[in-house]
Chains A and B, each alone.
Chain A
Amino acid sequence: MSGLLYKNFRLNLASMIFSLITAAFCCLTMLLVCLFAFVLPGKTPEADDMQSLTFGFAACYFLAFWLPSMASSTLFQVDESKTCCAFAMSLPQGAKGHVEAKYYYILILNLSIMFITFVSDTVTAMMTGGMTDNTLVIVLLFALVLLLSAIEIPFMIRFGSQRGMAIKGAVVGGIIIFALLYLLFGDMSWLLESDNDPLTALMEWLQSGDMVFWLSLFPYVSVIAYYLSCRISVKIYRKGAENYEQ
């Protein structure tokens, strides 16, 4: 397995470096904001600053996780030929090892990004005197990226990387359209009739009643989905390999 992992890291070195630099750059942006807004003037954030800070952090961390996941197709493109697949299947680890190594690679890459964002979040918390803490956002973004990878990878393996990416786009697009339709035609009384601003009202709704319980299942569902996705991908690998062009 370590050999296959090494192969993935070696072949995708450029993409991996790009991912890590992107994540570091996104985090650096927030560090600089905190440096110039709070540390150098010697201020601590006030209640009014918190909303924009939280939103800014969430956006930066989202980009840190999201942009590298856009390049995930290259991981599969490099092996998308009949020769490569035949060679992978002839290895002692077989197709199972080959596919599992890809899943491990994505997991390690996302864990590395999570580490970068976590370090950045700790440093910004130190800069703002402990007023900001976005670790939960980081965990949820990590879970989201895992879930999307879990959906995307079996399609990439079965139908090729391009179609896999298209399906991922369709899933994300579908979610956005559903959200927009709900915002346009759904029951928004809980948000509009609230005394607070929409963001606070949304946070209150998320924390109300049993909603927290269903939301709390999200990271666990993502991990289970990732595991099941790996099992499915192993099973469909041979069929997918037959469709490759060369």
Chain B
Amino acid sequence: MSSSKKLTLKRLLIYLVLAFVPFYIIIPAMWSYFGEPVFICEDAVVAVYCFGVFGMMIPSFAHLITRLVTKEGFKNSFLGAYFKGKMGYWTASVIVPIGYSAVIAVLVWELYMDGVSFSDAFGNIGLQSAGILLIQIAYSVICFFPAFGEEWGWRGYMMPKLMELMPKPLAVLVGGVLWGLWHAPLTVAGHNFGVDYPGYPFVGIGMMCLMCTALNAFLTLLTERTKSVYPAAFTHALNNNINMTIWFLLFGSETAVEKLNGVTKFSLFLPMICVTAVGGIICFALLMKKEKPESAELDKAA
């Protein structure tokens, strides 16, 4: 291994330790304090807020500290914004997460709502629901901050380092798994699927790794092509804020919402995995394609 690769590996390890350790200490500590998994504990509202906003900023702090400690400087920190010839990616960063959440909602209807026709399931289509959806999308602007907190760490630091160390396809896989494992304490504490599903908690952690790998392909594609971390942060914010449930709550009929309440969180995750996996494969293929010559110029500018 060359000395530059050794240095990259050292920096990456420092970053990973700084990003992983706080979560792996705080969540078990809170669990022991409240006496039950944090995300199913009714008294742990403070913890939920704390993780939802400040926890997501840990990777950014890890990124910042790593750069300062290793005296790396702030070259290639993906903090610039370049629009020329990249508007497609910027637009995709907003449209794609909204689009796939709608597709997931349709898939949920198809899979779990036997005997309910599409028009019966989504019978509440009107200006009022559309208005609330638009407000919800605008509200995602504020979710941008915590999302940026994660993206500047994972896509802005970890992925470029991984791509220096290994071939791109492997880097996307390893990066996705690492990102999924970072969520492991949350998954164990009942964040995504609750705690009562078959194979708890390992199946949940595996599902999270799978979804993170698929999403990682898209987010890495956005970051790499725009040389900026902001489109990925927009996507992440919308992904967290506009989920499939929103479509049912806004446009779904009472019958559809009732049926949805009967489906476990874990089952709802399956169509989500399918859609993100298909999207991930497409992005993976796009990521492997060679960049246009102007991207190299952009790289230089970045």
Would you give the 0/1 interface string for A154-177, flagging 1 where the beta carbon is closer than 8 Å to chain B? 000000000000000000000000
B50 contacts the other chain (CB 8 A): yes
Give the nearest-CB partner of A121 in chain B: B142
Contact A209:B145 (CB < 8 A) given known A139-B139, A143-B138, A216-B134: no
- Interface size classification for chain B: 20 to 34
Contact A126 B128 (CB under 8 A): no
Whether the pair A212, B135 counts as a contact (CB closer than 8 A) is yes
In the complex, A205→B90 CA distance in Å?
36
A126–B51 alpha-carbon span in the complex (Å): 11
Chain A residues whose CB sits within 8 angstroms of the CB of B145 once the complex forms: 114-115, 118
Complex-state Cα separation, A209 to B130, whole angstroms: 11
> Which of B45, B126, B135, B139 has most chain A Cβ within 10 Å?
B135
Candidate in B46, B49, B127, B139 with the most chain A CB atoms within 10 angstroms = B49
Say whether, besides A115-B145, A210-B128, A212-B132, A129 and B45 are in contact (CB < 8 Å): yes
Interface of A is mostly: helix
B69 interface residue (CB < 8 Å to A): no
> Which of A114, A130, A212, A214 is B49 in contact with, Cβ under 8 Å?
A130
**Nearest CB of A to B134, in Å:** 4
Category for how many chain A residues contact B: 20 to 34
Tell me if A181 is interfacial: C-beta within 8 Å of chain B: no
A125 touches B139 (CB 8 A): no
Interface contact A126-B46, CB-CB below 8 Å? yes
Within 8 A of A (CB), among B137-152: 138-139, 141-142, 145
Instruction: Answer whether residue B53 sits at the interface, using C-beta atoms and an 8 A cutoff.
Output: yes
A31-67 contact mask (Cβ, 8 Å, vs B): 1 or 0: 0000000000000000000000000000000000000
Q: Known: A135-B139, A139-B139, A142-B141. Is A122-B130 also a contact (CB below 8 A)?
A: no
Do A216 and B135 touch across chains, with their CB atoms under 8 A apart? yes
Instruction: Report the minimum CB–CB distance from B26 to chain A (whole Å).
Output: 14
* Bitwise interface map of A from 211 to 246 toward B, beta carbon under 8 Å scored 1, else 0: 011111101100000000000000000000000000
Residue of B nearest to A131 (CB): B45
A122 to B149, CA, bound (A): 15
Binary per-residue interface labels of chain B (26-64) against chain A in the complex, 1 for a CB within 8 Å, 0 otherwise = 000000000000000000011011100110000000000
Given A130-B45, A212-B135, A138 and B142 contact (CB-CB distance below 8 Å): yes
Chain B residues with CB under 8 Å of chain A are 45-46, 48-50, 53-54, 80, 126-128, 130-135, 138-139, 141-142, 145
Given contacts A126-B49, A217-B131, 10 further A-B contacts (CB under 8 A): A115-B145, A125-B49, A129-B46, A130-B45, A130-B46, A139-B139, A142-B141, A210-B131, A212-B127, A215-B135
